[in-house]
Homo-oligomer: A and B are copies of this chain.
Amino acid sequence: MKRIDGGICSVAGVRAAGARAGKYGVALIAASGAAAAVFTTNKVRAAPLDVTGEHLQATAGHLEGIIANSGCANAFTGQRGHDDARMMARLLAGFLGVEEKQIAMASTGVIGRYLDMDLIARLSEEAGSRLRSAPDASAEAARAIMTTDTRIKEIAVEHNGLHVAGIVKGAGMIEPNVATMLCFLFTDADLPAHALQDCLKDAVKESFNMLTVDGDMSTNDTVLLTATGRAKGKVEDLRAALLFVCVELARMMAKDGEGASKCFETVVTGAMNEKDARLAAKAVAKSSLVKTAVYGADPNWGRIVCALGYSGAEVDPDSITLGLEGSGLDVTLVQKGKIVEGVLDSAQRIMKGDAIIIRIDLGLGTAGARSFGCDLTHEYVNINANYTT
């Protein structure tokens, strides 16, 4: 897996642009090809998700472009929200000279407000005139859809002749089954929509769905994959590259979690089955007490054990082995249920680092999983107590 520069514009056939005005931003991406999508499972689902879903169904998974805005989620907006979402599609379809149903759309921002369509039209016009295939165009599109994100998040890789790249937006409301994150992925692989959907589903499962910032699941999460078909390649190579890209984007999101000062990963092994491994890894990443302990560099591992106990996974306290890795150190705190004495100083040194791995062997089977989390800080409270309605 070779990292390359250029963001999504490193994939042949992808053009991008973005424009901002205050809290509002609009990103346009033109890329023609087979497409796949994964959406939030929240029952309150924003209008653009419904409309994008309809479009993908109508075209059997083919897209010509994506239009996305920040500033307003267009969620819980009823019929008017649907009309506005369709209008967004028409804006980009007009620029590209394609059909409305060949456009996907996405929104992020405050829930329960109507879109400012005049502003979106103006920003789309501005961005549309700049659509181009250039490294700074990828960054510009990524920047246009940032909300509480503090930095743009993009990646591109080359793997056995295939290219896969993505931009992602998301820093809060990040939890099970994708959360206000908008992620736009591109590849030059010449593969049909159903193969893309299969690879995308698996990649999301091991990456974004194992990411927790605050346990809140958004109404707007959207992951879109478009394949421009310019390169011949194997499904397995796409699968591997896509997983790599999604995991790296998930890590970037954990690092840029709202108010986060550091991130941590929880690696679970020895679970009875995959479901248990995922439950255990997620419960630790999600625990407010673990997250504040990471912030305070406090090796209070009892909180980790406690989270395992209520995770829903099968656990036996006497079988648990627990350790920490980071800052060049690796300590075992609990060995098959027995407290290891004299290691708290080393544990604290690891906890003071900014990249911590919590290692858990449940000792019951052979299944494993990895979750991505970040600390819970004063700044998280600042951001979310003062986020204006």
Contact = CB atoms under 8 A, between A and B. Distances in A.
A205 interface: no
Contact of A339 (B76, B317, B377): B76
* 5 pairs of A and B residues whose beta carbons are closest in the complex: A111-B302, A296-B385, A44-B309, A292-B384, A217-B310
Contacts of A378: 378, 381-382
Interface in A154-203: 172-173, 175-176
A337 to B, nearest CB: 6
Contacts of A299: 389
Contact of A381 (B218, B219, B292): B292
A73 to B, nearest CB: 7
A132 B39 CA distance: 62
Contact of A289 (B112, B172, B286, B377): B172
Interface string A291-333: 0110110111111011111100011111000000000000000
A41 B310 contact: yes
Nearest to A311: B43
Nearest to A381: B378
Interface in A342-384: 344, 376-378, 380-382, 384
Nearest to A77: B339
A110 B339 CA distance: 13
Given A110-B300, A298-B389, A389-B300, A288 B216 contact: yes
B303 A111 contact: yes
Given A219-B302, A298-B389, 9 more contacts: A41-B310, A43-B314, A112-B305, A173-B306, A215-B215, A218-B306, A298-B387, A377-B381, A378-B382
A298 B385 CA distance: 7
A372 to B, nearest CB: 17
A44 B315 contact: yes
Contacts of A112: 301-302, 305, 334, 339
Nearest to A45: B309
Nearest to A333: B112
A64 B313 CA distance: 37
Interface residues of A, number: 66
A306 B78 contact: no
Given A216-B287, A298-B385, A385-B298, A42 B309 contact: yes
Given A173-B306, A302-B111, A305-B111, A385 B293 contact: yes
Contacts of A295: 381, 385
A301 B113 CA distance: 10
Contact of A302 (B73, B215, B382): B73
Nearest to A389: B300
Interface string A56-77: 0000000000000000010111
Interface string A134-169: 000000000000000000000000000000000000
A218 to B, nearest CB: 7
Nearest to A215: B288
A216 B307 contact: yes
Interface in A256-315: 286-289, 292-293, 295-296, 298-303, 305-310, 314-315
Nearest to A308: B44
Contacts of A122: none
